């Protein structure tokens, strides 16, 4: 039987669906990790991993209508398939207004990055980043990868190039923060030009935070 989670309303369902859809646009065959603890759901995806580069995690945190305890990894495609039925069951005239139940796919998957658990507390504030600069770094990296992949290149070659580009330092002042953070924040829709991006550190980890979500990264040599 599928594991159920209960979201407060259709707006929360839309937030989750948007996050999962954006993550799949970056990684069509990718997965997401769902961690429910009490009335909080943490949803992880990994826009950058493998190829010898950093592991970068995107994180969206949502409230739950009912407490749950869950830690599973499922395909992005499989989870997306569950949203239409959850929305239909909550439309006026179909079901009473209230929490929106979502059935998590029973077919769980295994991906290496899901075993990387970032810390939840103890972060030290570093400063603020300009979202426009992050957006430009992401665009430059995407262009470099597109231009640098020869015709007929295999998946391994593309992964290596992605690892090189997104594994570079975000800036000269932040040599331990990979540029993949900029790509993930932009691709997952976490950037708003009117909101500075907060940067935090904890040991080998770096984290950026906006009101739309978090991006966490740890360099591969430290995994």
Over the stretch 64-98, which tens digit does the pLDDT of each residue have? 999 999 999 999 999 999 999 888 876 654 444 57
pLDDT of residue 154: 81
pLDDT of residue 94: 45
pLDDT of residue 88: 84
Provide mean pLDDT across the span 151-169. 88
Sign of torsion over alpha carbons 139, 210, 71, 117: positive
Beta bridge partners of 201: 124, 206
* pLDDT tens digit sequence for 9-34: 999 999 999 999 999 999 999 999 99
How far is the C-alpha of 23 from the C-alpha of 156, rounded, in Å?
20
pLDDT of residue 1: 45
Tell me the whole-structure pTM to 2 decimals: 0.92
Give how far Cα 47 sits from Cα of 50, 67, 103, 150, 184, Å. Answer: 10, 28, 24, 22, 6
Which domains are seen in the chain, by residue range?
Answer: 3-115 (3.10.150), 124-222 (no CATH)
Examine the pLDDT at 186 and tell me if it is beyond 60.
yes
Backbone angles phi, psi at 35, to 5 degrees: -125, 110
């Amino acid at each position: 039987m599928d594991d159920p989670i209960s979201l407060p309303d259709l707006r929360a369902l839309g937030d989750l669906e948007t996050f999962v859809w954006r993550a799949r646009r970056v990684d069509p065959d990718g997965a997401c990790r769902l961690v429910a603890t009490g009335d909080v759901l943490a949803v992880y995806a990994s826009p950058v991993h493998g190829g010898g580069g950093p592991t970068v995690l995107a994180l969206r945190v949502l409230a739950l209508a009912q407490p749950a305890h869950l830690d599973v990894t499922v395909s992005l495609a499989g989870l997306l398939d569950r949203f239409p039925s959850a929305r239909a069951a909550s439309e006026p005239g179909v079901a009473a207004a209230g929490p929106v139940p979502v059935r998590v796919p029973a077919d769980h998957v295994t991906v290496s990055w899901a075993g990387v658990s970032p810390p939840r507390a103890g972060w030290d504030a570093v400063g603020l980043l300009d979202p426009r600069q992050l957006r430009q770094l992401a665009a430059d990296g995407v262009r470099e990868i597109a231009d640098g992949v020869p015709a007929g290149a295999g998946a391994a070659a593309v992964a290596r190039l992605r690892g090189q580009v997104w594994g570079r330092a975000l800036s000269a002042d932040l040599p331990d923060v990979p540029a993949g953070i900029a790509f993930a924040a932009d691709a997952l829709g976490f950037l708003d030009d009117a909101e500075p991006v907060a940067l935090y550190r904890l040991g080998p980890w770096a984290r950026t935070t906006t009101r739309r979500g978090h991006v966490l990264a740890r360099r591969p040599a430290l995994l």
